[in-house]
Structures are given as C-alpha cells and as structure tokens.
Amino acid sequence: MRRILVVDDDREVVRLIRAYLEQAGFEVLAAYDGDTAVHVIRRERPDLLLLDLMLPGKDGWAITRLVRAEPSLAHIPIIMLTARVDDTDKIVGLELGADDYVTKPYNPREVVARVRARLRQPDVAPPQTLRVGGLEMDVRRRDVRVDGRPVELTPTEFSLLQVLLEQAGYVLTRGELTRRALGVDFEGVERTLDSHIRNLRQKLEPDPANPTYVQTCLLYTSPSPRDGLLSRMPSSA
C-alpha cells in the first residue's frame, strides 16, 4: 500500500484529506509542523508528500529544499498545498523541486487524482537505458548522466525527460507531453510545465539559451498557439 505524508498545521484539512486518501486505498501519515514532518520523512520514507507551504517551524520551501538535497529522499514526489495564489510563490516552489501545486480551497477529489497521477506506473516497462548523444538515462536505477556527469532530477523532471527520450526524433505538443509524463491534461498547468522544462535545460544543457537536447518550436497549423508549442528531443545530439 502506498503511503502518503500529509503536512499541514490545519488539523481539519488533514482530517479531510486523510479520509479521501484512505477511501482511495492509500495509507496516510500526518504531521502538523515542519520539524515533525522532517522527522517523519526520514523515518518513514513515504511514497509522496502533500506539503503545506506555510507551517510552524520549517516551512514548505525549507522542507522541499532539504528533501531534494538528501540522495535517499530526493526521489519522493512533492505536491504543495497552499492558500497563496501568487505565481512567484509557485515558481519558487517548483524551482526548489516541488512536482505540483494545488491552491486552496481545493476539491479533495482533485488532490486524490493528482496523487494518483504522480504515483502512476506505466503499463509497459520502458527500455532500461535511453540515450541521445552524451545524455544517458538508466530508467530502472533512475540515474541520468550528461557526458558521464551525474544529474539530479526531481521525479517530475525525470518523467518528462523519460518521455522525451522515448520519443527522440519526434515532436510532442504540450498536451501530449503532460498527458504522457504527468498523467494530467495540459489545460491549467502551462506555468508548471514551463518551469519544469526550464529546470531541465538548466541541468542538462551546456548552454540553456541554445538547447541541444530539449528543443522548442512553434507549430503554425495548430488551432491554438499555446498548444502549438512543441517539445522535441533530437534523435542525436
């Protein structure tokens, strides 16, 4: 059974989310402040974190930074829960390593759907090793290297890169990329996707302003210019 750690200082919020997650078949752990959350994360190694941004003690940003800095924890997906709607706050959280953002007030069913999407396993096992030029991914070990240099990726960045590598030489619309990699529709996650792609380029590319691996182009025949933005991994680099 997958274990979800819910971190929020509002006990009623925790109670509500716990009820929906347990009904969906998850085991739920809870913490009501940042310091306790860190202790539970290190002790229990949950499969996913639902993390409030504003907490007593360590806040959600500090916890995200800590989790991503520890190799034994860095693979854990993080979905942030927050009442703050400023895009700057969301972008900061994503750049620190959060995988998704849900803004309060939210529908608990949406939270469960996002948790399932993050934990969803592909129906067909992918090849163990994917390569394009000097970029290499060991899927089973979740190891990524560029010219032999190890690259630390968040779970969402890894999923996006895996889809791009599996489709090397082809272009994917934003909608296709989010559905295949994240298990959600593109509508409403434009900024999230853009932040993850920007982070991938910063980590993978010698010159992020002139990307070699993760390329973007405009599909002029698309009915929507936004949907016509394509991500492409060349077949060789």
Q: Domain with 19 in it: what CATH number?
A: 3.40.50.2300
Verify that 83 and 149 share a domain, yes or no.
no
Neighbouring residues of 223: CB distance < 8 A, sequence distance ≥ 6: none
Q: Which residue range(s) make up the domain with 219? A: 129-232
CATH code of the domain covering residue 150? 1.10.10.10
Verify that 7 and 115 share a domain, yes or no.
yes
Verify that 136 and 208 share a domain, yes or no.
yes
Verify that 87 and 140 share a domain, yes or no.
no
Q: Which of 66, 92, 119 is the last residue of a domain?
A: 119
Q: Do 192 and 100 meet the contact criterion of CB atoms below 8 Å apart?
A: yes
Per-residue model confidence as pLDDT tens digits over 190-209: 677 888 889 999 999 989 88
Does a structural domain hold residue 124? no
Verify that 40 and 77 share a domain, yes or no.
yes
**Alpha carbon distance 73, 54 (integer Å):** 21
| pTM exceeds 0.75 | no
**Ordered per-residue pLDDT tens for the chain, 237 residues:** 899 999 999 999 999 999 999 999 999 999 999 999 999 998 888 999 999 988 999 999 999 999 988 877 888 999 998 876 666 777 777 888 888 888 888 889 999 999 999 888 443 444 578 888 899 999 888 899 999 999 999 988 998 998 888 777 777 777 778 777 776 665 556 677 888 889 999 999 989 888 888 887 655 444 444 443 445 566 655
Per-residue model confidence as pLDDT tens digits over 94-128: 888 888 888 888 889 999 999 999 888 443 444 57
